[in-house]
Amino acid sequence: MDFGMLGRIDFSWEFVSAFLSIVLIDLVLAGDNAVVIAMAVKNLPKKKRFWGIMFGAGAAVLLRVACTFVVAQLLVMQYVKLAGGAVIIWIGIKLLVEGAEDEGGHREAGTLLQALWIIVVADISMSIDNMLAVGAACKGNLFLLLFGLALSIPFVVFTSNLLSRLMDRYPIILWIGAAILGKVGGEMMVTDPFVEGIIHTTKTIEYASMIFFTALVVVTAKLILKRRSAKARAEVQPLIPD
């Protein structure tokens, strides 16, 4: 079946192989994005979580469709992955601090718009690998490209729902999620063309960078939480008369 500019659907081995490759790519790469969405909606009321996940995943994938056509050109530019990695690390710290404070009952639930903004920004920053992989697997077939990007929605939505529920019961998952964001951010930054041109990145350096930024996210969040806790105790401490 020929759909013109959208590409051709047939049952040749090349088409079936590309189709299966895209499904596998989405399954493998949906995890990191699901972690961001689950952490972003964690502080929402339970009734709003579903809509936060649906709207966030949908908006992010629509932006992916537009970005996929230019991402290959952007990736060869210096500073793009460096900036994206820095954004992911900042989001990881922010979500971890807010989520941990919520566990302690120190803050109100976030708003749906705040969650959507975090989801879209983080998803676009983290989805470079997904867009490149799907773009390469489709081999110029626009139908397969759009199919692959759309298929990521149900994968991410299901995983996000599951993770957000588990985070309510097991707060340690929140910290694991933040560590994953640190790892992804570190990997993006160290593989930026500008950074690679300076330090000639090897696999050892890449792994060391991921470990460093994973620790950075967790330690920074702990320090912020400790400082805020000390400040809160100082504010409620009764004044002692001289």
pLDDT digits (tens, 9 = 90+) for 19-71: 777 776 666 556 667 788 888 888 788 778 888 888 887 777 777 666 666 65
pLDDT of 224 reads: 92
Of 20, 142, 5, 8, nearest to 69 (Cα)? 142
pLDDT of 6 reads: 47
In a domain, residue 234? The reply is no
pLDDT of 107 reads: 44
Range(s) of the domain holding residue 162: 13-229
In a domain, residue 86? The reply is yes
- Mean pLDDT (the chain) is 75
Q: Which residues of the chain have pLDDT under 50?
A: 3-6, 105-109, 239
In a domain, residue 96? The reply is yes
- pTM equals 0.65
How many domains in the chain?
1
In a domain, residue 8? The reply is no
In a domain, residue 5? The reply is no
pLDDT of 10 reads: 62
In a domain, residue 168? The reply is yes
| Distances from the Cα of 26 to the Cα of 13, 19, 33, 127, 135, angstroms | 20, 11, 11, 11, 12
In a domain, residue 2? The reply is no
Number of neighbours of residue 4 by Cβ within 10 angstroms: 7
